[in-house]
Structure formats: C-alpha cells, structure tokens
A = this chain, B = another copy of it.
C-alpha cells in the first residue's frame, strides 16, 4: 500500500491536518515539516526497521516526529512520559531500542538520547523515505503490564492501524465537517489512533497538550469539532461544567476505559451529548466493540457490539475473546506471552463478561483488577511486586479506590513485620513507580482476606472503600 501520509498529501494537500495552540497546518505543510525532520533523524543514523523510542508529550513536535519515524520506516516505541527512569530503562532494554528521541523536558528520564533541541540543530540529509508500506510491518510498540505485572511490548502493525480506522468509520460514519479532538495522550493507542485516522480520513486533529475541561468545552461549543475521545474521568470533568448540548457538529463523544454509569448517561441524554461507549485496548489498536448513541440508554453498562470486521465471543470460563484484523500479532520478543494471549486464533482479553440475547457485550470485570486512573492503566500486581520486594512487608494487595478527580486511585493493604518503616516504603515506591501508580493510601492489616485455596480476595478489599 502507498505511504499513507504521502497519499493523503496527494489527495487533499490543502485540507487541515493539525490544529495545535490555535495554529492550523495543512497536510502539505505538515508533510514538509515531517520530511525535514525525517532528514534530521536520517542524519542521526535512524534507518528503516530500526527500533526507535519516542518520549514526548501532546505537542506539535512529537506529532511531527511520529510521522517522521513512520516515513523512515522505523518502528516507534512509544514511551509514557509519566513513567520513572527505571520503568523506561526496562522498556528500552526489553525492546532493544537503538536510539531514543526525547523531549527536552524529559531528558533526565533517559540515560542517553537525542533531545528535540539537539535534533533541531542537526543538519538535514536527504532521507530514504518509504514509498510504500508493507501492512504487515510493525508501526508502533506500546508496553502494557497485563495482570502478571511484567510489562509486555504490544506490537501494532500498519494493518492493525488501518483496520482500526476503517472499522471505526463503518460504525461512526464520516462527513466533510469531521475533525477529531485529541486530548488523550498520543503515546497511548487512544491518541495515536486519532493521528492515524486523520491521515486515512483526511480530517484535522485538534491536539491538546492537557485535558483542560474549560478549554475543551469551548472547542466543543465552537463547531470546529465533530469527535472527541475521552476516558470516564475526562467525561465526568466535562459534565461538571454546566451547559446544554454542544455544537450540533459534535457527532461523537467516544468513551473508552470502562463504561459510563447511569447518572452520566442520563446527563448526556438530557444535554443531547452523543456519547458512544466502547471497549478496546492497546492490543486491539483502540476500540473494537462499540455501543452507538441510540442504544446508550437501552443498554446501560454495555460496551456494544464488535465492529464490522471483528468478532467477540465469550469463553466457557466467561473470558471475553476477540478476533479481527486490528488485533496485535503479539508481544515484542515475548513468544511465550504471545502464545498465552491467543486460543484458536482468538485473542484472550483477560476480561470477564457476557453477551446479552441481542449480542451486546457487557464487561463485568475489567482485566480482573485493573485500576484505571485518569485514563492510565494501573496494574495492581506491578505495584505489589515493588512493595513486596521490601523485606519488612509480609503480604500486600493493591486495589482501586474511587476518586472524584481520577476515577480511581491505587491503595495498598499490607501485612508487616517488626522491621517495617513507612518512610522506607515510601522511598521504594517513589524510586520504582510513576507518581500515578504510588498508592494514595497504605493500610496495615493483620491479615488479607483469602479464599480457601489461598488466593487474595481483592473484591473484599475493594468493598472496604466503597462502604
């Protein structure tokens, strides 16, 4: 297939590609900037099929670099800028990264890398750009921890991104007025998939560095936006701002990261906000099961139906299984985890759910005990491993506690011995965990609730916080 960005420039050079900090740029302008950056990256030795890590934030430069790395045919490891140096170091080693491109604000998070500043000062060399894209090639890698707590690099091919974009358009439609507001991180699949759709559909990305609910509301009222991707906590923050419906051009408020509760749905209905609930993950290159607005109130708590090219089914043990061309071929350098993630060609989500008689999916437990905090996935076992490494801690269990601002935050229950020092534990957490993963509360208990077979009953611990 043709290089998507080059093809888009040929099809609609004068259409808007990016709006960032009020500045509009067309596909032609974006391409020119991307080509220049690609030349600088090329001068720095970056070549086709090489693994290059990118550590940036939602800004124009990071946006351009993502495209530039694709133009060169490099594989981009997307680093979450909220991770600690230690977490990042693990990913860089595990992915066998050759070079790291790092925003000036984050240079301390890597041992060596090319800063944006250094890159800008590099002299351009005419690069070898990929004219065509082999769809089976890996475009991006994103690490997720999974329930085992050990981070795994999810490979996303161009084919995955293509089918994700096509599946979405067959469900949500596409009009000449469309544009997608991206306030979710572009180093997450939620944000990166917006960039991919922009190129494939020929529509603008309104890129926001932070989720500022006042500013987002203004944009949704301006008529410039047709679609926005949000997670539950963002939606709740938006709804706290009083008002009626947004501009009629807003066609879709796409919700990921867990279904909305009834109160939220009622407000959306009253205010005529076209909420579209969905289910997806890094491994499915974003939404793969989606609930259209017309079914939102009939199917409260449902994530919807599998998009046209995809299928969902429930295994005998209740696990949600998925099939479709947007699903990852597997985990980087981790054949064991890949083999474990599939059964008879179906991807095992690790989530428990059911389909109702009309085929709508209901997710009961999101990755058993995953904590979603402000759109970030937090895996309790990862935190438990860090805390458990402190020899004064005998046992530990981490669960989510509902939080007005973040949706959910991690809290820990521990059983300790005489040598325990809370200060030492806090230091351990700070060194090893991104701030959003550090338990907001640590409760010392005599023992943890367990099943007969000795498994910790996390649900019982969660109940302590909801009472």
Inter-chain contact A170/B305, CB cutoff 8 Å: no
The 10 closest A-B pairs by CB, nearest first: A173-B174, A173-B175, A10-B359, A174-B174, A166-B166, A11-B305, A2-B311, A175-B175, A169-B169, A1-B309
Cβ contact within 8 Å between B10 and A305:
yes
Instruction: Write the chain B residue with the least CB distance to A9.
Output: B359
Q: What residues on B are CB-neighbors of A48 within 8 Å?
A: none
**A196 → B minimal CB distance (Å):** 13
CA distance A1 to B170 in the complex (A): 15
A to B CB contacts below 8 Å, 18 in the list:
A1-B309, A2-B309, A7-B308, A8-B308, A10-B359, A11-B305, A11-B308, A166-B166, A166-B170, A169-B169, A169-B170, A169-B174, A170-B200, A170-B201, A173-B173, A173-B178, A175-B175, A200-B308
A410 → B minimal CB distance (Å): 37
Residue ID in chain B nearest A310 by CB atoms: B2
Within the assembled complex, what's the spacing in Å between the Cα atoms of A75 and B117?
60
Residues 301-321 (chain A) with a chain B CB within 8 angstroms: 305, 308-309, 311
- Complex Cα–Cα for A243 and B174 (A): 30
Q: How many copies does the complex hold?
A: 2
- Measured in the bound complex, the distance between the Cα atoms of B359 and A173 in whole Å is 27
CB distance from A51 to the nearest CB of B (A): 28
Chain B residues with Cβ under 8 A from A308's Cβ? 7-8, 11, 200
Task: List residues of chain B with CB within 8 A of the CB of A2.
Answer: 309, 311
Query: A176 in the interface, Cβ–Cβ < 8 Å?
Result: yes
A169 surroundings in chain B (CB, below 8 A):
169-170, 174
When distances are taken between beta carbons in the complex, the residues of chain B under 8 Å from A8 are 308
C-alpha gap A176/B325 in the complex (Å) = 25
CB-nearest residue of chain B to A323: B2
Complex: chain B residue closest to A1, CB-CB? B309
Which B residues are in CB contact (< 8 Å) with A174?
A: 169-170, 173-174
Residue picked from A8, A174, A200, most chain B C-beta under 10 Å: A174
